[in-house]
Amino acid sequence: MTTTRHLLTGTELSRPELLAVLRRAHELKAQAPADGLPHPHSLDGRSVALIFHKPSTRTRISMEVGVRELGAHPLILRPDEMQLSRGESVKDTARVLSRHVAAVGIRTTADALLEELAAEGTIPVVNLLTDGHHPCQVAADLMTLQEAFPDRLADDGGFDDLHLAYVGDGNNMARSLALMGAIGGLRVTVVSPEGYTLGPGETTATLSSDPQTGVAGADVLYADVWVSMGDEDSDERRAALQGYGIDDALLDAAAPGAIALHCLPAHPGEEITEDVLYGARQRIWDQVENRRHAQKALLEWVLRAGPFADDA
C-alpha cells in the first residue's frame, strides 16, 4: 500500500527529494506556456481543492494558475462557502474532500487543523501557509537562490556554500527557512530582537540579536512583514523591531554582492526600504514568479505525478 504524501512543514522532504523538486521546478519554469512550449499536463483530469482561510494574493494566483498549467481543475473554497464555518468537523470535511479531489492545499492559521485534515483524509495535504510554517514559499526561495548563485552550488545543486540571514520577527517564515534550508545545506542565521526570536530547541539555525553582526558574511538578507494578519500587538511589535529592517547599509554589512529577498506583502519604510525593494540588489520579484513553478513541482511530488511517478 502506497503511503499518502503530505507537505505540512517541508521536513517531509529529504535532501535528494528537495533538490529533485527544485530541478523539476526549473524545468516547469522553462516550459511555461508563455514561452510558447507545450506544457506537461501531468495532472490531467484531476481536481485540486484550494482552501483559503486567510486573504491571499501570491498564493491564490500562483496556485490557481499553476494547477491549471498542470492540466488539473483548481477548486477555490473560502470559509463562508464551507460547512466548516458552521461547525462541521475537520474529520468529516477531510472525508468529503477525499471522495472528490486528488489533493488539497490550505492557507489557514492553526497547524493543528492542517494536521487533522491530513490525518483524517486519504489524499495529500499541502500547507499553503499556517502560523507555524510556510514551506511553499521556501521552495520558491531556494529555487530563486539557485538562479541567483549558480556558481556557488554543490554538485547536487545544494547550498553548502551559501549563507542566508533572516532579519526580523522569528515567525513561520524564519522557522521554515531554517528547517528547509538545513535540508538543502543552506546556512541560516535568524536575527531578531529579544522576545521575537525562534526558540533554541526548534532550530539548528544560528540565532542573533544584533543586525550588523548577524548579517556579517551573509550572501542573502531576508525580510518579512513586522505585523502579520492576526497580530494584535502591532504597536509593540513595530517598536521592538525598529532597527531590524533591510536597507542599503545593512546589505553593505553583508558579503559582497549580497541580495535581498522578501516573501511579501511589503511595507516599505518598516522591514525593507523602497530603494531595496525596487532596486538592483534584490531578487524579490523572481521569488514571486517562482512560487508558481515550485508549487507545481511540489504538487507533482505529493501526487507522485510527472517525473515522480516512479516513486509510487
| Residues 95 and 234 occupy one common structural domain | no
Element (H, E) at 190: strand 187-191
Listed residue (145, 118, 107) closest to 25, CA to CA: 145
149 assigned to some structural domain: yes
Q: Clarify whether residues 170 and 277 are in a common domain.
A: yes
Query: Active site residue: 5, 24, 107, 237, which one?
Result: 107
Same-domain check for residues 157 and 259? yes
* 240 and 217 in a common domain: yes
- Same domain, yes or no: 87 and 122: yes
Give me the pLDDT at residue 79, please.
Answer: 83
Cβ burial, residue 104 (10 Å; 0-12/13-18/19+) = buried
**Known catalytic residue: 281?**
no
DSSP annotation of 14: -
**177, pLDDT greater than 80:** yes
In a domain, 31, yes or no: yes
**pLDDT for residue 277:** 98
Question: What sign for the dihedral angle of Cα 172, 174, 177, 180?
Answer: negative
pLDDT band at 231 (very low <50, low <70, confident <90, very high): low
For residue 40, what pLDDT band results from cuts at 50, 70 and 90? confident
Distance of CA 161 to the CA centre of its chain: 21
* Rounded mean pLDDT, 163-185: 97
Q: Locate cell 545545506: which residue?
A: 185
Domain contains 77: yes
pLDDT value at residue 249: 98
Query: How many domains, the chain?
Result: 2
Residue closest to 128 by CA, chosen among 64, 202, 204: 64
Q: What is the CATH number of the domain that holds 203?
A: 3.40.50.1370
Q: Which among 283, 291, 292, 293 is annotated as catalytic?
A: 291
Cα angle value 185/208/276 (rounded, 5°): 80
Using omega within 30 degrees of 0 as the cis cutoff, is the peptide bond preceding 265 cis? Answer: yes
pLDDT at position 230: 65
Average pLDDT, stretch 203-225?
A: 96
Q: Which of 24, 58, 134, 283 is catalytic?
A: 134
pLDDT (0 to 100) of residue 227: 87
Q: Are residues 244 and 167 in the same domain?
A: yes
User: Does one domain contain both 141 and 283?
Assistant: yes
> Is residue 99 pLDDT above 80, yes or no?
yes
Kindly report the length of the chain. Answer: 312
Q: What is d(CA 174, CA 190) in angstroms, rounded to the nearest whole number?
A: 7
> Is pLDDT of 1 > 80?
no
Do 274 and 158 sit in the same domain of this protein? yes
SS3 218: coil
User: Which pLDDT score is estimated for 125?
Assistant: 98
Residues 269 and 307 in one domain: no
Which pLDDT score is estimated for 33?
75
Domain encompassing residue 272: 135-288
> H helices of 108-198, where?
111-120, 135-148, 172-184
The grid cell for 207 is 540565532
pLDDT digits (tens, 9 = 90+) for 70-89: 999 999 999 889 998 888 99
Q: Which pLDDT tens digit goes with each residue over 268-298?
A: 999 999 999 999 999 999 999 999 999 999 9
> So what's the pLDDT on residue 201?
80
Determine, yes or no, domain membership for 3.
no
Cell of 68: 491549471
**Per the domain annotation, does 42 fall within a domain?**
yes
Q: Judge whether residue 22 has pLDDT over 80.
A: yes
| Residue 222 CB-half CA count within 13 A | 31
Question: Do the domain assignments include residue 2?
Answer: no
> Does residue 148 share a domain with residue 97?
no
212 is catalytic: no
Q: In Å, how far are 55, 108, 271 from 59, measured between CA atoms?
A: 9, 12, 21
pLDDT of residue 200: 75
Entry pTM = 0.96
- Examine the residue annotation and report whether 68 is marked as an active-site residue of this protein: no
List strands edge to edge, sheet with 125-129. 73-77, 47-52, 103-107, 125-129
Q: What average pLDDT is seen over the chain?
A: 95
- 174 and 257: one domain? yes
The strand pair at 220-223 and 206-208 is best described as unpaired
88/155 same-domain check: no
Cα-based distances in Å from 114 to 48, 227, 274, 287:
16, 23, 35, 25
Confidence of residue 2 (pLDDT cuts 50, 70, 90): confident
Domain-located, residue 7: no
244: closest CA among 220, 224, 228, 274? Answer: 224
The active-site residue, picked from 58, 224, 237, 295, is 224
CB 73 within 8 A of CB 48: yes
User: Which residue among 46, 133, 136, 137 is the active-site one?
Assistant: 137
pLDDT at 176: 98
Please report where in the chains the cell 553548502 appears, as a residue: 160
Please, how many CA atoms are within 13 Å of residue 268, restricted to the half-sphere of its CB? 7
